[in-house]
């Protein structure tokens, strides 16, 4: 019989109050607390903590504190990853970022989802849907990415957007819910930038 951790990682309905999952979240909170207490001069310590917290890529990532996450071990980041102040990753299943991703301040990425039916929701059980962000993506400040979303390579998500469905590659998307505003020509290596806001 699968454990609750195995159910969670498989995207099945699971019980988040399971003692092993509670312990895993406590471990992540301890690492995050220590990370958020570091100073700018403690670059090696920051890298070591992120390398321990994240599944992959933490040793090269730049993440401005404060950071928040559920488990950490479901987060992987590519080369040259940068996240500005106050980002939140609720990673009950994988959250994957490609190479050269930039996140503005206060970007939230959610993978947990709860039953629509109130009686079922009252049981406390939940499940997760992974989020995948491609290479060369810029997500503007205060944007939220909801469970199950994939964002294509080279895309810009405008500040304050709520991304509720997949976004194709090489576009600027924005709004609530986010929609494609325009395409980015392949040769346009520095799109206007204005829609995304603070990075």
Q: Are 153 and 169 in contact (CB under 8 A)?
A: yes
Residue tagged active-site, from 25, 34, 114, 125: 114
Please, what sign has the CA dihedral across residues 157, 103, 154, 111? negative
Q: Is 108 a catalytic residue?
A: no
Cα gap 171→61, rounded to integer Å: 25
Nearest to 135 by CA among 57, 198, 55: 57
Cα gap 93→74, rounded to integer Å: 6
Using N-to-C axis directions, what is the helix angle for 43-53 and 19-36, rounded to 10°? 170
Please, what sign has the CA dihedral across residues 68, 70, 71, 72? negative
Residues with catalytic function: 114
């Amino acid at each position: 019989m699968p454990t609750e951790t195995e159910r969670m990682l498989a995207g099945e309905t699971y019980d988040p109050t399971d003692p092993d999952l509670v312990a895993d979240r406590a471990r992540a909170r301890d690492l995050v607390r220590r990370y958020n207490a570091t100073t700018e001069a403690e670059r090696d310590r920051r890298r070591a903590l992120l390398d321990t917290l994240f599944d992959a890529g933490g040793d090269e990532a730049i993440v401005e504190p404060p950071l928040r996450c559920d488990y950490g071990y479901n987060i992987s980041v590519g080369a040259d990853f940068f996240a500005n102040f106050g980002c939140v990753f609720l990673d009950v299943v994988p959250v994957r970022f490609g190479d050269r991703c930039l996140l503005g301040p206060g970007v939230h990425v959610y993978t947990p989802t709860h039953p629509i039916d109130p009686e079922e929701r009252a049981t406390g059980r939940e499940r997760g849907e992974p989020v995948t962000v491609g290479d060369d993506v810029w997500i503007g400040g205060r944007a939220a990415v909801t469970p199950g979303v994939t964002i294509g390579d080279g895309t810009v998500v405008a500040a304050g957007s709520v991304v509720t469905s997949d976004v194709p590659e090489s576009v600027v998307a924005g709004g609530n819910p986010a929609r494609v505003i325009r395409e980015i020509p392949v040769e346009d290596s520095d799109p206007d930038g204005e829609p995304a806001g603070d990075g």
